[in-house]
Amino acid sequence: MVAVVYWFRKALRLHDNPALIAAAEGASSLYPVYCLDPKTCSRARGAWTNPNRMRFLLESLADLDASLRKLNSRLIVLHGDPVEALPAACKEWSASRLAYELDYEQYSLRRDKAVRSQAEQAGLEVVTRVGHTLVDPEALLLLSRGAPVTSYDKFRGLLAQELKARPVTTLPPPASLPPPGRTAAPHAIPSLEELGLEPMGDAAVIARGGEGAALRAMEAHLRRRDWIASFEKPKTSPTEMLAGGPFDAGAGRSTTVLSPYLTFGCLSSRLLYERVAAVYAEAAPRHSQPPVSLHGQLLWREFYVCCMHATPNYRRMAGNPICRQISWGEDAALVAAWREGRTGYPWIDAAMTQLRREGWIHHLARHAVACFLTRGDLWQSWETGAAVFEEYLLDADEAINFGNWMWLSCSCFFYQYFRCYSPVAFPQKYDKQGAYVRHWLPQLARLPAKYIYEPWKAPIAVQKEAGCIIGVDYPKPIVDHQAAAA
């Protein structure tokens, strides 16, 4: 009799899950577990978790549990530090094997090292597999001789070598799984309230969690074959936000909004890569190319994961060998105004409001607010901005988030990046009437389009007519953009 514990972390799915398949091989009983770590999942225990992201996680766990039950299994939710909870569970269930998918985030590496040590000391076999990326980051590091690669083009060359040697392949979901033993306690999926979090309401939902929702959203997008083939990320609009539409995720947005599903592993990046490749094959040679294509977006993800895995202190400036050392300002009032959408620049404030409410903003909006906080206007540290994004984003991927903040702050990747996003001129290219601003900042909804991005310039009579007095109902600018960006 072989009892096996399979530890779900990011791969919250059954399709293309190599670690799950490996866990089930030769097992007479399989205990699928998810561990709610107080370091990441409980406000009550001192670790703040955004309720929007936790809602997405709990929906994903419920979907996973429903899928497992169709296979005569179920999800067992553990509470506590995995370093303590997992060995205890393995002992309770007399498990001889512990399996999980590899994770390369810095906290995860420390946690997993401790878990592996405990498991091996207890005599357990530990089985791991790569599943969150297209290829094994370790293989790419061998090609780069262990050095972080900060050039996307150079990285693409290394990735091409690895893909030639080991092409992307996917696994079907298991047709059956060994049932958990009778000793498995009925650890249920908690509610937000039980975790000490307040629901944010359906108005804040841009994407429902779960493998089912992920696959439906992917299939809906893939049916737009011409759009998939011609997709170029920089040509999409950061201000599209219409409600309703045919997709489970990102209805009315100009991009796929599949990133939260990739972050949580509800959708396999390899499956998405394969399916997009099939569309490209039909459209060949007329389809977009990296870095702007949909394949290009997946390669960016690989690029940042590989860079993170090779870089000590990736999350911060000090001790980070790839990061430029800059004397950023330390003004808590400026950071708070940016974070809370009180900068006095409607485009910036609308984007930050959307971020807090939905947990998602378009990549160009991310660029704009990051530039505004760092080298464009406020000259505050990129670490501060990355931490705010990590708190609010549904797709808060450590590798991508911290890498992008280094990039946009001109701290790495681009060291002489002169382009600054104007908080006035830039959004006008996409939304001259300011519909996006009016949606997220209703206090400005009645302002004439002439003043929607510069409300402080509106005559007092216009402000009164619009019911919005600048400095009272909406803040004055906290910085002069022209002077700051000069």
Q: Which residues are annotated as a binding site?
A: 255-259, 297-304, 395-397
Q: Given CA atoms 179, 13, 108, 35 in this order, what sign does their dihedral have?
A: negative
Per the annotation, binding residues for FAD are 255-259, 297-304, 395-397
What gap in Å lies between CA 442 and CA 445, rounded to an integer? 5
Contact 252, 217 (CB under 8 A): no
Return the residue matching tokens 């990326």: 133
Nearest Cα residue to 335 out of 307, 305, 372: 372
Q: What residues contact residue 404 under an 8 Å CB cut-off, 6+ apart?
A: 304, 366, 370
What gap in Å lies between CA 319 and CA 321, rounded to an integer? 6
Provide the 10 A C-beta neighbour count for residue 441: 21
Cis peptide before 180 (omega within 30 of 0): no
